[in-house]
């Protein structure tokens, strides 16, 4: 049975869930909040130490101003309301990404200040907790992350701290926004779209992928349990041997 140390998920399908029901997009985003609570409960139950959720990509910031404003308001409201639950359950919250990309969304300076304030507040308030490390990938893009890491290493070389020929994989990993975290063991990709969507491209090199036709707002604890069960039945190879064939739902 495989043990999961780090579970990750792409929260895809909010808009499609709403459109299938003839609803406004923002109602899909609102419905997509519930599965976050469900997957957190599953992680706490199974003593999974890391959970990474793709909350807002750098590409998402280029959507319509009204939609992005709603998403930011939803994040502010959700963090404010759920902070007591994080504290009660020992959940440390971190925001992985580069919030300097926020102006791409053409948000007001007030709204940018509000979301930065609540993110900082929640990170600080939960920094001492150890039951679960909950990472919201916010203003995140894997290509942007790798580029930022390359620039960081280049600056170290230019400063004479590091010789270019001596750069190791560990040096690169230590320069990523996820430095210090284990690579995800399993990445859940709902919405029947078997693609990575610029999500943890370096870290997910040998992650197991789990695809489901269900859209994110429709995901429940039973669906996350099913993903964990299937993962437990797989034989991981890390490129060394042929993996055991598994049946995707």
Beta bridge partners of 10: 54
Distance CA 178, CA 135 (A): 9
How far apart CA 175 and CA 170 sit, in angstroms, is: 9
89 catalytic per annotation: no
Of 120, 147, 140, nearest in space to 60 by CA: 140
Residue 4 in contact with residue 186, Cβ under 8 Å?
A: yes
Supply the DSSP symbol for 159: T
Q: Which of 12, 133, 198, 223 is catalytic?
A: 12
Dihedral angle sign, alpha carbons of residues 144, 146, 147, 151: positive
Q: Which of 161, 218, 195 is nearest to 10 (CA)?
A: 195
Report d(CA 103, CA 113) in Å as an integer: 11
> What is the spatial distance between Cα 86 and Cα 92, in angstroms, rounded to a whole number?
7
Asked if 234 and 210 count as a contact pair (C-beta separation under 8 A), the reply is no
Catalytic residue among 2, 14, 25, 60: 60
Helix/strand/coil percent split, the chain, to 5: 50, 15, 35
Residue 135 annotated as catalytic? no
Cα distance between residue 207 and residue 170, in whole Å: 18
Report the catalytic residues.
12, 60
């Amino acid at each position: 049975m495989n043990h999961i140390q780090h579970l990750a998920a792409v929260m895809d399908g909010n808009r499609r869930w709403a459109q299938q029901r003839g609803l406004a997009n923002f109602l899909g985003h609102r419905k997509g909040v519930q599965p976050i609570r469900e997957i957190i409960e599953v992680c706490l139950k199974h003593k999974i130490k890391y959970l990474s959720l793709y909350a807002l990509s750098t590409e998402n910031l280029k959507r319509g101003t009204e939609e992005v404003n709603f998403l930011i308001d939803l994040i502010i409201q959700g963090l404010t309301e759920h902070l007591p639950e994080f504290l009660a359950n020992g959940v440390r919250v971190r925001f992985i990404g580069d919030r300097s990309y926020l102006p791409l969304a053409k948000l007001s300076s007030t709204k940018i200040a509000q979301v930065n304030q609540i993110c900082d507040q929640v990170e600080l308030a939960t920094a001492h907790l150890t039951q679960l490390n909950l990472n919201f990938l916010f203003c995140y893009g894997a290509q942007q992350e790798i580029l930022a890491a390359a620039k960081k290493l280049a600056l170290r070389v230019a400063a004479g701290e590091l010789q270019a020929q001596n750069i190791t994989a560990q040096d690169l990993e230590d320069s990523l926004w996820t430095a210090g975290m284990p690579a995800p063991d399993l990445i859940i990709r709902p919405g029947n779209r078997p693609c990575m969507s610029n999500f943890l491209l370096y870290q997910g090199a040998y992650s197991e992928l789990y695809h489901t036709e269900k859209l994110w707002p429709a995901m429940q604890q039973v669906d996350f349990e099913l993903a964990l069960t299937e993962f437990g039945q797989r034989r991981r190879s890390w490129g060394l041997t042929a993996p055991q064939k598994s049946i995707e739902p």
